Each structure stands twice: as structure tokens, then as C-alpha cells.
Structure 1
Amino acid sequence: MAKMVLLASFLSINSSDLSGYTSKIELTAEVSDEDVTTFGSGGWKEVLGGLKEGSLSITFKQDVAASALDSIMWALFGTVVPFEVRLSNAAVGPSNPKYTSNVLIKQWKPIAGDVGSAAEVEVEFPTSGAITRAVA
């Protein structure tokens, strides 16, 4: 099994490469478990997969300069936009798949942090529609 260290992951939101502002990316996909247990289940719970959902969690290093992170994200607030993430910023391929979908930019934190700390923004956006995985 190959091991890797994340050194140059890729994040694009609404076709803007935001990798240079990003220090953490977490894409989560899950499915609800729907109970289909009956009296014929022999005393064991039975489940089937129900609705799928996902979320994209990101930690950004804030930048409020003109045309930088804050102005990009503020313009997207309240909209559903496409995203793409990859483990590496290298070309998409069998060893570097891309994951794409849409996210609702449901929150933005223009100001966050403690005295003396780096200005960081931690956000979580719900996906809208299917998450796809591609190697080409």
C-alpha cells in the first residue's frame, strides 16, 4: 500500500483555484442507514442504504486584499457552485483521482481568530447532487 504526505493538494471552487489559500481539505460522503428489520429478521437488525450526502470542510488562510480569497468567497455566499478536489495538484490520473460536485456556500467567516494567531477561516459546505470520482 502506498503512503503519501499531503504537500500540494488541489482545491477549486467555482473554477477559482484556491489551493494557495488552503491548509486543510476534507471531503466526506455518507449514506443514511434505513432500518428494514422485520419479524423475519431472526432477531438481527437489517439495514439498507438510503439517501447519500456529502460535505466539503476547508481551512483557509484569510486574505482580504482586492480580488483575493475574501472577495471571491463573499461573492459566492448563498449560491450553489461547482468544486473539484484532488490529493495532489498533479494531473488527474489513476494515482490522482479528482472528486467533483456542487456545494452550497452557506457560511462565510470574514473575521475569525485569536489575538496573535494566523487569520484562518474554517468552513463546511454541504454538497448538492452526486459526488463523482474520475481518473481522466
Structure 2
Amino acid sequence: MAKMVLLAAFVSIGGTDLSAYARKVEVTVEVEDKDVTTYASLGWKEVLGGLKSGELSLEFLQDVAATKIDSIMWPLLGTVVPFVVRLDSGAKSTSNPEWGGSVLINGWNPIEGSVGDEASVSVGYPTSGAVARTTA
């Protein structure tokens, strides 16, 4: 079994490469389970897949200087924008798949932390529409 250490993941939101600010990325997708159990199920629960949903969770190191992460993300608040992530910053390929779609930028935490902490921002954005896994 191959093993991997994340060293140079690629993160893009709204067409802007934010990899230099990101230190954690997580894409989660799930399918609702719908209970379709009947008396004919003989006491066993039966389920079918319902609506799919996803979330893009990120942790950024904050930078409020002009043209940096805060000035990139703030104007996106309330908009649906494309996202792309890869496990490696190299080109998308069969050994470096890309996950992408659109997310709603539904929040931004410009200030987060305690005395002595690094300035970081943790966010989680719901996907809007399909999330695709592509290799070419």
C-alpha cells in the first residue's frame, strides 16, 4: 500500500492559488440516507441514497496586507465561486487527482486566536452543486 505525506497541496478558490496561505485542507462529501423500510423488509432497515452534499474546510495563515489572503477572501463573502484542490501542487494526473466544484463563501474570520498564537483563519464552506474528481 502506498503512503503519502502532504507536503505541497494545491488550493485554489475563485481562480486564485491560495496554497501559500493554506496549512490544512479537507474536502468531505456525503450522501443522505433515506429510510425506505417496509413491513416486507422483515425487520431489517433498508436505505437508499438521497441528496449529496460537500464541504471544503481550510485553515489559512492570516495576512491582512494589501493583495494578501484577507483582501482576496473578503470581497468573495456571500458569493459562489469555483474551488480546486490537489494532494500535490504538480499537474493533475491519474496519480495526482483533482477535486473541484463550487463553494458558497458564507463566512470569513479576519481575527482569530489568543495571545501568542499565530494569526490563522479556519473556515468551512458548503459546496454548491456537484463535486468532481478528475485526473485529466
Q: TM > 0.5 between the two?
A: yes
* Misfit runs of 4+, over 3 Å: none
The 1-side partners of 2:105 and 2:46 are apart by 36
Measured in 2, the distance between the counterparts of 1:92 and 1:46 equals 38
Provide the C-alpha distance between the structure 2 equivalents of 1:135 and 1:15, rounded to a whole number of angstroms: 18
Q: Give the TM-score normalised by the residue count of structure 1.
A: 0.99
Tell me the SS of whatever aligns to 1:65: coil
Q: CA deviation at 1:123?
A: 0.3
* Percent of residue pairs bearing the same amino acid type: 61
Identify the residue that residue 51 of structure 1 maps to in structure 2: 51
Deviation string, structure 1 residues 1-60 (Cα, Å, up to 9, x no partner) = 210000000000001000000000000000000000000001000000000000000000
Amino acid at match of 1:22: A
- Aligned residue pairs, count: 136
For 2:129 and 2:91, the matched residues in 1 are separated by: 25
Secondary structure of 1:37 counterpart: coil
Gaps of 5+ in 1: none
What is the correspondence of 1:1-136 to structure 2 with a 5 Å cutoff? 1-136=1-136
Distance 1:6 1:42 in 2: 47
- The letter of the residue matching 2:97 is P
Gaps of 5+ in 2: none
Give the whole-Å Cα distance in 1 for the aligned partners of 2:16 and 2:49. 34
The residue matched to 1:29 in structure 2 has which SS?
strand
Give, in whole Å, the separation in 2 of the partners of 1:6 and 1:100: 18
Q: Measure the CA separation in 2 of the matches of 1:92 and 1:82.
A: 16
